[in-house]
Amino acid sequence: MRVLFLALILPLCLSAVFAQSIILEPIVIERNRYSHSLKDSEYFVYDYENGFPYSSQEDIVDYSSSLDLRKRTAYGLSQDVSLRGSIFEDTAVTLNGIKLNDPQTGHFSLQIPLTSADFERADILKNPQIINFTLKRPKDSGGLVKASFGEHALWEELISCNFRLSDIKNRISLEHKSSKGHRQDTDFDIYNFSSHSFWQKDFRYAEFIFGSTIRDFGLGNGYASRFPSQQEHITQQFYSLIAGIEHESCQLKSSIYLRRHTDKFILERHNPPFYTNYHTTYVYGMNNRLEFSNYTFFSFDIERQKIDSTNLNKHKRLRKGLSLGIDENRIGDFIFDIHAGVDYYEHFEFIEKGHLGFGYFLNDKLKLRFSYDRLWRAPSFTELYYVSPSDRGNPFLGLQRSNNFELGADLSLSPELEFSTSLFLRDQSDTIDWVKNNPALVWKADNVGDIKAYGVDEYLKLKINKGAFDALSFAYTYLELDKDNTYNFSKYVFDYNKHKLVNSYDFSFGSLAFKAVVNFIKPLRRKNYTTLDLKAFKQLGNFSLSLEGTNIFNKGYQESADIPCLGRWYKLSLSYAF
């Protein structure tokens, strides 16, 4: 506890010293996606107007061809994320840079306890395997009221209000969603609440975020095909306090956070005494980062993870991390960044990590780039200790490590034409998966050996603005995995999309705007399928009217083995901005 206290107080004391010893001026830092970036990344903006159709704030990332979002049920209630063939435990999910991954199981990492009015954009950083959600800053005034209804007795209500108290900008939002579900035992009832405050004066700023969610929902056969009426009751609270300074000579940012998550899982909702588990996890810690004008930086973070479970029992573990490096820096036609660090993780001791990026501008429109990331992850508490009629954890699991390589090029002929291509390779050792050799056996967690995931990413965006046609984009990912293990059946690792193509089209007729998205997916072991999502939008003064539908031709397919797709789902929304 003393270490935690000192790590928090020291950066704040340094802030005070800087504030008193030099004259500071506020600055604004802007970075262009292509001219000053070594990462193959893409982002999606949350736009009530002509944005992508999505049912929850987490769903929007599924429009990336590099990413596969496996939905057991609708509206972000239970879904797993796979990025370039990684399984759901491997991808880091962050909120304004704070990691949200649940130590109990990665199944909960994308259950973000905020409302759809809070989100500004979602960035997907592919080689380091990170999805970062960025929040909108509160404003002096204004707000949003929104109501939606749709198929399967869907109802949504949202109210969000911005206001100012003295020098502090605030936003409070409340959201409710409910439905009878797209099939039997997939009904849901969701309540989201958030409070966001931001203060800034000259070079100093502070930010407080609180989010809470209550989610009761049926899973169908989401986790085990033998039990078609599973159910979960989830609550989650998230707190973060961020303080820092921004100056042309240095930047300092310190944050503390707490995430509490409870889960009541019922294997057979019509017979709860048969098998019901209760889990409560706590994740709390702090991040500190100090940057200098010469692009060097130092960061320190510490985190405690705890679980109290009727199935997994009580466990806790502590992680501490240090990193040093040089942020993206351009010298002539060259651009580079590098950082290295070490983490101390209880039970696993010291673990190295690092990143190297290098780029070269052939001219002002074309850039070549290379990046390398050394990553690791510890097994979740479920992978270590879980016991059920269909699954069994392994307390002797070791760390999973990977070396990620990427070689690419970015071409920007004009603001209207962008093209990017990347070759990637992930060399992964001691891969963690759920496996078995006989269909009659239970799934067992194990370090199954080495895996090489490799492929190609292609992206093209073209703005046309001729007639009714406004813009189009094409994103394609090819993925292949080579395995080196002795098991006959893999639950997660070798259930991946070999091909994924996402085509997006924007067009308008007067004040009526449309976005159509065609998704073609060819899984390795399941039948290929094509879906069409559509959104129509019209602005009427301060009012907005939208009609959106996913899988509008009601194409039948499986996103995971034995789990039917969501099918067609339409909804009509009316919102008022003030």
For 182-204, the DSSP string reads SSTT--EEEEEEEEEEEEEETTE
**Per-residue pLDDT tens over the stretch 30-76:** 323 334 466 677 888 887 666 888 888 889 999 999 999 988 888 88
Read off the pLDDT of each residue in 166-189 and give the average, rounded to a whole number: 94
What is the greatest pairwise CA distance in the chain? 71
Please answer whether residues 526 and 542 qualify as being in contact, where contact means their C-beta atoms are separated by less than 8 angstroms: no
**Per-residue pLDDT tens over the stretch 106-145:** 889 999 999 999 999 999 999 999 999 999 999 999 999 9
pTM, to two decimals:
0.90
CA-based nearest residue to 135, from 79, 57, 213, 192: 57
pLDDT of amino acid 57: 87
Instruction: Answer whether residue 19 shows pLDDT above 60.
Output: no
pLDDT of amino acid 28: 31
pLDDT of amino acid 50: 64
Read off the pLDDT of each residue in 194-202 and give the average, rounded to a whole number: 96
**In sequence order, which residues have a C-beta less than 8 Å from that of residue 271 and are 6 or more positions away?**
none
Residue 100 DSSP one-character state: -
pLDDT of amino acid 293: 85
Read off the pLDDT of each residue in 171-191 and give the average, rounded to a whole number: 94
**Which token pair is 547?**
């009609």
Which H or E run includes 382? helix 381-385
pLDDT of amino acid 177: 97
Over pLDDT 70: what percentage of the chain? 92
Instruction: Answer whether residue 353 shows pLDDT above 70.
Output: yes
Instruction: Answer whether residue 7 shows pLDDT above 60.
Output: no
All structural domains of the chain, each given as residue ranges with its CATH number in brackets, are 2-577 (2.40.170.20)
Residue 558: which pLDDT band, with cuts at 50, 70 and 90?
A: confident
Query: Which DSSP string do the residues of 310-376 spell out, in sequence order?
Result: TTTEEEEEEEEEEEEEEEEEEETTEEEEEEEEEEEETTTEEEEEEEEEEEEESSSSEEEEEEEEEEE
Instruction: Answer whether residue 24 shows pLDDT above 50.
Output: no
Please answer whether residues 73 and 186 qualify as being in contact, where contact means their C-beta atoms are separated by less than 8 angstroms: yes
Average pLDDT of every residue of the chain: 88
346 vs 95, residue with greater confidence: 95
pLDDT of amino acid 12: 35
Q: Is 356 exposed, middle or buried (0-12, 13-18, 19+ CB in 10 A)?
A: middle
CA distance 356 to 375: 12
Measured CA to CA in angstroms, residue 92 lies from 82, 110, 246, 384 at distances of: 11, 10, 26, 19
pLDDT of amino acid 37: 61
CA distance 280 to 5: 25
pLDDT of amino acid 55: 86
Residue 422: which pLDDT band, with cuts at 50, 70 and 90?
A: very high
Read off the pLDDT of each residue in 483-506 and give the average, rounded to a whole number: 87
